[in-house]
Structure 1
Amino acid sequence: MDLHNDIKSGVPGVAVDGRVGRSTSFEVTLNGKLLFSKLKTGGFPINTEIVTAIKEYKGEGDVTPVTNTASNCVLL
């Protein structure tokens, strides 16, 4: 929920939704284009980098993938 809230507060008016995906996966897409993949990076994203990438996206063409991962991930 933290990423959801960070996106909503950082990019007012944006629509955010979620769904259950493959086991052990966590992916973020922007207009149907892959922005972040836990399967490719091995970790979870840094929320501020996701918000920045969304703000910088101009609505056309490819998105610039976020590849940095948070070093303090805790799974409960």
Structure 2
Amino acid sequence: MSTTDGWDFTVPDDEAELLAELRRHGVTPGERFRLIHSPAPTGEVQPAPERPRCEELSFIGSVKGGPRDMARNTDAYLAGFGE
């Protein structure tokens, strides 16, 4: 599998092959990237990890049809930035 952000990769025994594979994917000396260790493929499709539920912000109620406290209190919110 290969995407714009990553690709599946098996580390070869030879360091020269490792360097060639990184260069083939455009990795340059001094560049930083993140590696994630993956267990050997089993042929089973793993379910996507569940995303944590984001906390809702109380001041955006007007967006979802709730109380319009952000619109009503805009002057007070903006005054706080000026102090």
TM more than 0.5: no
TM-score, normalised relative to structure 1? 0.21
Larger gyration radius, structure 1 or structure 2? 2
If each structure's strand is expressed as a fraction of its own residues, which one has the higher value?
A: 1
TM-score, normalised relative to structure 2? 0.20
